[in-house]
């Protein structure tokens, strides 16, 4: 749950002139909203996406290799219909091959080289919510102050943006209230060129992220 504190104060100018009727007080206003319902997210398989054992022979020596995406199920259950959005924190921050809010790190090999990156894709066609006929993705890069028009494009969950769900194509009103949402997410991995990694031993993918529900 997000709490916001706001401070309001007047501007005091000292101009070497006598102060007449100067006030010795200012206001502190603390604002916040306690939502009446909480939501619980859960990922299938304990949240583990296993790409198994991969031979170096199947990976490019000089170029990055994009592996076949793997699915993972998401359920999000709220006590009552609730407006929310999602974002994700990279628990291996700084290890992704590309510095971007939608790419997450796979950790480092034993020589300290970046192994690769992964992304988590939300496809509206693989998402259902309550009795809504069709779910549309909508996102915000302004912490929910403005929302992109809702559409059916596959979206990547970001660390610096919010991803929400609408019931109306083209709507920029932001997410609608949903009680029960299910989705099949796709996790796509890109591996660094083998010439940039220490292949003298096994290289273990070590990606980890935290999916966060942000109440609106």
**Torsion (CA) 81, 87, 91, 92 in degrees, nearest 10:** 150
- On the question of pLDDT at 14 being above 80, the answer is no
Q: Report the range of poorest mean pLDDT among 22-36, 167-181, 186-200.
A: 22-36
The whole-chain average pLDDT of the chain stands at 88
Answer yes or no: are the C-beta atoms of 181 and 73 closer than 8 Å.
no
Q: What pLDDT score does 28 carry?
A: 74
User: Taking the CB of residue 57, how many other CB atoms lie within 10 A of it?
Assistant: 7
pLDDT band of 157, cuts 50, 70, 90: very high
- Residue 69, classified by CB atoms within 10 Å of its CB into exposed (0-12), middle (13-18) or buried (19+), is middle
Global pTM?
0.82
pLDDT at 98 over 90: yes
User: Of 154, 151, 183, nearest to 167 (Cα)?
Assistant: 151
Ordered by start, the domain boundaries in the chain are 36-215
Within 13 Å and on the Cβ side, how many CA atoms surround 49? 24
Higher pLDDT residue, 13 or 136?
136
- Average pLDDT in the 59-79 region? 95
pLDDT tens for 102-143 read 999 999 999 999 999 999 999 999 999 999 999 999 999 999
Sorted by sequence, the CB contacts under 8 Å of residue 10 that are 6+ apart come out as: 26
- Please choose, from the candidates 138, 100, 132, the residue with its C-alpha nearest in 3D space to the C-alpha of residue 118: 100
Taking 70 as the threshold, does the pLDDT of residue 17 lie above it?
A: no
CATH number attached to the domain at 36-215 = 2.60.40.1090
């Amino acid at each position: 749950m997000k709490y916001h504190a706001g401070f309001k104060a007047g501007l005091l100018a000292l101009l070497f002139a006598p102060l007449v009727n100067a006030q010795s007080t200012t206001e502190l206003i603390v604002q916040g909203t306690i939502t009446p319902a909480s939501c619980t997210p859960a990922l299938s398989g304990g949240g583990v996406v296993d790409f198994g054992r991969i031979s170096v022979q199947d990976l490019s020596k000089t170029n990055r290799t994009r592996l076949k995406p793997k699915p993972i199920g998401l359920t999000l259950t709220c006590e009552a219909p609730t407006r929310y959005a999602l974002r994700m924190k990279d628990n291996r921050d700084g290890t992704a091959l590309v510095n971007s809010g939608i790419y997450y790190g796979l950790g480092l090999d034993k020589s300290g080289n970046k192994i690769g990156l992964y992304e988590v894709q939300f496809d509206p066609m693989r998402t259902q919510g309550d009795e809504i006929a069709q779910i549309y993705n909508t996102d915000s890069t302004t912490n929910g102050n403005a929302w992109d028009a809702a559409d059916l494009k596959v979206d990547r969950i970001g660390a610096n943006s919010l991803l929400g769900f609408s019931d109306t194509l083209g709507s920029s009103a932001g997410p609608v209230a949903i009680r029960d949402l299910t989705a099949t997410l796709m996790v796509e991995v890109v591996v660094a060129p083998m010439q940039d990694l220490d292949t003298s031993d096994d290289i273990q993918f070590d990606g980890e992220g935290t999916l966060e529900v942000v109440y609106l």
